[in-house]
Structures are given as structure tokens and as C-alpha cells.
Amino acid sequence: MAQQNTLHLRGGGTSVLVDRTTPGVPAIVHWGPDLGDLADDVLDDIARGVRPQRVSGGLDETGRLTLLPQEAFGWQGTPALLGSRLSGGTAGSDFSSALVMTALEATASALRLTAQDPATRLRLDLEVDVTPTGLVAVRATLTNEGDADYEVQDLGLTLPLPASAREVADTTGRHLRERHPQRHPLSVGRYVRESRRGRPGSDATLLLLAGEPGFGFERGLVHGVHLAWSGNHSLSVERSQNAPSALRAAELLAPGEVVLRPGASYSTPVAFGSWGRGLNELSSRFHEHLRRRPQHPSADRPVTLNTWEAVYFEQDLAHLTRLADLAARVGVERFVLDDGWFSSRRDDTAGLGDWTVSPEVWPDGLAPLVDHVTGLGMQFGLWVEPEMVNPDSDLARAHPDWILQARGVWPASARQQQVLDLSNEEAFDHILRALDALLGEYAISYLKWDHNRDLVEGGSTVTGRSAVHENTLAVYRLMDELKRRHPGLEIESCASGGSRVDLGVIEHTDRVWASDTNDPLERLTIQKYTGLLLPPELIGAHIGAPHAHTTGRHHTLPFRAGVALFGHLGVEWDLASASADELGDLTAWISLYREWRDDIATGALVHADLADDTMDLRGVVARDGSRALFVYAQTASAQSHPTGRLTFPGLDAAATYRVEPLAHPASATGVGQSPLGWRDGVVSTGAALHEIGLQAPVLLPETLAVITVTRVGEATP
């Protein structure tokens, strides 16, 4: 029987066609919508039909964009592998690989291939999986089969784009304003987004996207790539004159950071690719993939109160127990004590690294507060920053060599702190023992794990080389070991807010803190684009104080609470300063969240594409399509008056629904307008609600309305 030349991998509505006849290793010739059942001869003809011609001025055989593009086979774009020998003959030799596939195993949704190069004595093992939710997951492992060291400078993972991908979008930002979108045409050349901060960073993009011009949340074919890694990384998109455009993801390695001894291997982080007819569909693949994990949080996500903006460093048992009493009264289920509970930590200049309870602040230890909180039926959580150390600490004075550094001197300071070298086993064991002791002594069910500075000159005194790669792995290992020793422990990834949000860290944690700002106007955008990757139940979203501590803006409770609904809800507010009416309204908002949190944690998160940029409509549609909760926010003065229509995505087109604005908790509306025509409810179909919509309520700037959608009658078969 003739060997099948074209493989068809399928899953979750995605098809990946792989041409195994290309030089070196196979090439993906289609990644996108499912093509259905195709005969083998048809598959081969599809692949044959897209092979490039020889053209004037080019190579005699045009280089192909394979799963491992290599210069040896005519590829003249960015190669997959950069590296060379460090010794054994001429340093810098074996700089160009010619890895050729020697083995291939394939199933209906995955392939595993091995490629070898006898000349450079390298072996590559490549894995491609189409997940049940339609993501494409790619990972490579390079092994040194030679007798001299080999330095890996770069090993990238490549996914092709369709010809329609002519516009690029990503996100950027800063502390307190993370993940704001930007876009531009995909021109010839390479567009690169890199993080050299030792963590993704507040300016990092979660996804690099390329799609049809003007693609949005509901429209336009779009593809994107994410690297599941919490250290330095590079995402890029490249368009050339003689090959398909492609997305690329790689760990960003420092010189000498990965040197393979004979027989040693380096494995890349996993690159995840997703696609969709609009960003709602693209992001839903990530959400459903994460929800299928065995460790994904399955219990109701507890409403969380964090004490930071309530008390800052002024920790007082009487005030905190009063805060806990009020928290329990309004429906909070988890109480988290933030920074300032340990050692000499009275401000942010001292104490990091000394993880023992301060006898000055807590003369009887944390037990009085912990017992009070748990006695109220709430879980107790604690803030830690295990990867960091203040120079003014016992740890730094005793072990200055445990601090990441280069040239024998500490790097530039940030937030009056330095970074521990957790790849140093002595430092790792010290921190593990300290945290393990805390978790063993107190009923702590949750750690808010912070990481408050970028890495600069992240070298190890043990190896003398860059240690960002090894520290990233060490952090994962530390989190896993604490969870192993303390079953049920949950960890939040907080890094100056949202500076470490990725699918690498989320494998070891249970939610992320999207940003240190609780200003709802800022949070609308931050949460919207964090949600491209993570489902709501993994994104901490808190109701802040009326006066936003980070921006100085004032907002009503409905606006603050409504924005926080589509996340893992919490409170960041000194409730002792709230009025009785405010506490009553807060109780109602928390009750609303608790009524809907199962749907928020299992349903489809959707965003509407509206013509007016000042209008924001987002919602969660229950998995069975029986109901949906939408929040419509007016972010600024509308372009038209009255405002335009709201169109509702994600509903069952054939079903009939009743749509109502939620009467309570109250939503702020404008003045001088006649009553909303559908204020008492209206019945329409899912198709009509999406295609025609409803008149938007006229709202004041920076206010919102909550809208419920309930199916009428039987579900669609």
C-alpha cells in the first residue's frame, strides 16, 4: 500500500492538514475550519495544489514553510533553530542544521515526529496536537547527540497563516493599564513582540493575532498564538514575498543560557494556536481547553476580600476583625491578609525574604485573626512574595550570593528589592521550608503570590550564566511542591498586578490578578483582553472603593460592581468606611454574582461589536443557552443621542428569549429621556436579538445597565 502523503488532524472544529513530502520535515498546509471527512487521494491533491512554483530570481526549489523551517532546505525567512557547537573542533561549527524526518507516528488528532541530522549530530522530537476544543499545541525537544557541547540560541515554533491574514493585533500597556489593544497592517517583514523582563511583563501581549482586515469579536477570520511560559519570550509574525505568512513563538534565551552537554535535551514551552470567526470564537477555544483540565477549579469561586486597599501596611487586629465581620455580613467567602504581616515589613523597603510573622504587629501570631475569619465561615488567605528579597532583610545579609546578579554585583534596584535565585537549591529549600511552616501552622487555604519587579541581569552565582529559564522552572516546582504538601491550597498569580498572566503559570495556580488597578473604567479594557486567553473564573476582579486609589476617579457602586461581575469576584474596599446603604447594595451585588457564578464559570463569554466605541456590551451565555447575563456600559458621552442599538451575540438563534433590564441592584441612567421602550421586558428570538437588537438605554458616562436574557419555552432540539 502506498504511503499516505497528507495527514488530516482534527478536533474541536479545527482541521490541520500536514504535507509530509516537504524537504526536511512536514509542512502544515491548512490550519483552520474543519474540512470534514476527506479521502486520502483528495487530501494529497489539496497538498499538491498549493505547492509553490519555481520563480525567476529565486532558488531552483522554493523553500517551504515547514514545521521546522531550515536554511539548509532553502528557507530564507527566520529559521526555527539557531545554535552552534562551543567546543570539539571549531567553535561556532554546526551552525546550520539539516534535520530530516526519520520517524513519524500519527493519530486522528496528533502527530509525533523525529528528525535527525548526522552531520550536526542533533535530534529533534516534535509534537503537534489538535485539542478537543480546537487549539493547536506544538512543542519541540532538541537533543545533542554529539560529543561536544551545543548552545541553543533560539528554537521557535511556527504556525502558518491564511492569505486573508492582512492585519495584526496585540496588546500592550504598563503597570495599572495592562493589555490595551493596538493593531496595524501586516506588511512584508517581521513584527516582533519580546519580553526581556524575566516575566511576561505589564506591557506584554497575551496573544499575537493576525486576521482579515477589520476583524473583531464577532467577525473576521483571525488566528493567534500564545506561548505557555512565564519567563522571557518572543512572539512574531512574518510575511515574505515567496512564502505563506506565519506566526512564531519562542522562549527568548540569553547567551549561554541553554548549553546542551552530550546527551542533554532542551524542550520548548508549548505554543498554542487558536482561530475563529471573530475573537469570541478564538478565545472560547482557550476557555474550554482550560476548563477541561483535571485541576481546573470546579467548586464555586469564593467571593474574596483582599485587605490591601483597606489598610495597606497599617495592620491592626481590631480593625481587621471588624473588616472580617463586615465582609462575612455582605457575603464574602474568603478573607486575604495582604502585605505587612511579617518580619520588619512596615513599608516596602524592608523584610522581604524573612517569612516569619512579625511579633511587633502580631504578638500572638496570626492565630487570633485566622481563627476569627474561619470562625465566621470564611477561608483565610495570605499575601507572599517568595521570589523577592529586600536588601534590608536578614536573608539578604546572610546570603547575598542567593540574589540574581552579574559581574559579582547586584542589579539595578526596583521597588527597593532584588530577586532570589531559586535555581540555587539552597535558596529554593530555604523558601520552601518557610512557606511550608506557615501553611502547616495556620489554616491558610490561599496564597496571593506576588512578583513585584522585572528581572535585570538575572544571573546565577552558582553557574555564572543567565538563570531566567531555570528560575521560571523553579517557581513552577515550588508552587507544585507546596500544593502537594498542602492539598486544597489555591494560589493566585499576582505580579505587580497583571505582569505574569500566561498558560505556563496557570498550570500551577488557580487564578490571576489582572491588574493592580480597581478603577472600573480601566478594568473594562484590561478584563476584556485578559479574557482573550483566560475564562472569567480565573481572572480576579474586585469591587474597589468609591474613590479609585490608582486613578483618583470616583465611580458609583453599580459601575464598580457591574464591571467586576464577569470575573472571580472580590472586594478591595475598607467596608468600615461604607454606609449602611452601601453595605446593603454591596450585599445585593454579591448575591447577584453568586446567583450567576456557575454560568460565569461554565458559560460562553462574549463581546459585541458595536459601532460606537463608547458603548461596551459583554455577557455570559449559559452552556445550555437557557439564559444569559449582559452588562452594557457607557464609557463616555455617546456619539449619537439617543444612543444606537445593542446587538446580543452568543444566543441560540432559533430560541425565543425574554430580555429585561435588571431593576436591582440599581443602574444609573441619564436625565431628560422618556422611559426605555423595553424597560418592562420584551420577547424576541436569538437571531433577531443578534441581527436587529434593542435600543440601548441612554446612560450617563461611566455608568452601566445589567440585562438578563431568559429563554421562553422549550430548548431548541
d(CA 554, CA 519): 9
Q: How far is CA 382 from the centre of its chain?
A: 23
Q: Which amino acid is at 277?
A: R
CA dist., res. 428 & res. 640, Å (int): 59
Helix, strand, or coil (residue 561): helix
Specify whether the backbone of 596 is left (phi greater than 0), alpha (psi in -120 to 50) or beta.
alpha
Q: How far apart are the first and last CA of the chain?
A: 44
3-state helix vs strand vs coil in the chain, percent to 5: 20, 30, 45
- CA distance to 234, 264, 365, 486, 538, per residue, from 369 (Å): 44, 50, 9, 20, 27
Active site residue 450: yes
What sign does the dihedral 635-641-642-645 (CA atoms) show? Answer: negative
Whether omega before 297 lies within 30 degrees of 0, making that bond cis, reads no
For residue 472, what are the contacts with CB-CB under 8 A and spacing of at least 6?
A: 229, 230, 231, 504
Q: Assess contact for 690 and 646: CB atoms under 8 A.
A: no
**Marked catalytic residue, from 19, 338, 454, 516:** 516
Beta bridge partners of 38: none
Please report the DSSP string for 511-535 in residue order. Answer: EEE--S---HHHHHHHHHHHTTTS-
d(CA 436, CA 51): 58
Q: Which of 362, 364, 441, 424 is nearest to 389 (CA)?
A: 424
Residue 576 grid cell: 468600615
Active-site residue, from 339, 450, 510, 585: 450
Could you tell me how far CA 139 lies from the centroid of its own chain? 18
Task: Look up residue 71 and give its DSSP letter.
Answer: G
Q: Cell numbers of 462, please?
A: 552558582
Question: Taking a C-beta distance cutoff of 8 angstroms, is the pair 34, 11 a contact?
Answer: no
**What angle do the packed helices 557-564 and 580-602 form, to 10 degrees?**
20
Nearest Cα neighbor of 329 from 72, 510, 587, 15 is 587
Distance (Å, whole) CA 118 – CA 146:
9
Q: What is the CA radius of gyration of the chain?
A: 27
What lies within 8 Å, CB to CB, of 574 at 6+ separation is: 309, 310, 311, 323, 545
Q: Where are the alpha helices (DSSP H) in 211-302?
A: 279-291
516 is annotated as an active-site residue: yes
Phi, psi at residue 683, to the nearest 5°?
-110, 130
Partners of residue 260 on adjacent β-strands: 150
CA-nearest of 453, 461, 473 to 410 is: 461
Single out the residue of 76, 99, 81, 96 nearest to residue 25, CA to CA. 99
Give the type of residue at 354.
D
Return the SS3 of 469. helix
Are 121 and 94 in contact, with CB atoms under 8 Å apart?
A: yes
CA distances from 109 to 131, 225, 685 (A): 7, 19, 37
Q: Return the bridge partners of 125, or none.
A: 114, 141
DSSP state for residue 103 in the 8-state scheme: E
Q: Using the CB atoms, write b or e for 544-568: b if 16+ within 10 Å.
A: bbeebbbbeeebbbbbbbbbbbbbb
Active-site amino acid positions: 450, 516
